[in-house]
Amino acid sequence: MIIRDGNESDVDGIARVHVQGWRESYKDFMTPEALAGLSVDERKNMWRGALAKPDPQAKLVVAVQADGEIVGFARGGPIRNKGADLLATDAEIFAIYLLDKAKRQGLGRRMMIAVFDHLAAQGFGSVGLWVLKENLAARRFYEMLGGRAGREQSFDVRGQMLTEVAYRFAPIPKI
């Protein structure tokens, strides 16, 4: 499997992984109704918008199998909500998802390293992300990379309240 920069031609694969990744990773934390309400078409529209005018300070990478199937992606860039920055960082990992069949192969680590390296090269000194509080496997992964748990916040996903924990990497790890 390779890790490469993502682009507009990857929108369909990224949207599929985004929805399937939520359904696989969050099945123990979210109601079936909330997960069933996720839409690949909505994610395609979101990703088309995000990639139509990419921010040069942001980085999108995809994990691709030998047959060309996208099985994961990660994206990070400048902090999105500067006024309400509970992460207390200058950059943010917006998303990282891997399909279950691609986990435990080092792809998540390789994607995070690619995004970390890009953000550091852009002059950012710290990066943060949000993870579901109950998602202990993901939390261990971030801790293994040097992240430290911080603040919590709650949010609504299709009528279900969830709590997420901020993870902060300061300085950005050189792995």
- CATH entry 1.10.8.420 includes domain 2-169: no
- With a cut of 90, say whether residue 80 has pLDDT above it: no
What is the rounded average pLDDT of the residues 145-160? 91
- Kindly list the domain boundaries of the chain, sorted by start residue: 2-169
Of 1-5, 31-35, 61-65, which range is least confident?
31-35
Given this model, what pLDDT does residue 34 score?
86
Dump pLDDT digits (tens) for 22-52.
999 999 989 898 888 899 999 999 999 989 9
Given this model, what pLDDT does residue 26 score?
93
Q: What's the predicted TM-score (pTM) here?
A: 0.94
- With a cut of 80, say whether residue 141 has pLDDT above it: yes
Given this model, what pLDDT does residue 16 score?
98
Average pLDDT, the chain: 94
3-state SS, the chain, equals CEEEECCHHHHHHHHHHHHHHHHHHCCCCCCHHHHHCCCHHHHHHHHHHHHHCCCCCCEEEEEECCCCCEEEEEEEEECCCHHHCCCCCCEEEEEEEECHHHCCCCHHHHHHHHHHHHHHHCCCCCEEEEEECCCHHHHHHHHHCCCEEEEEEEEEECCEEEEEEEEEECCCCCC
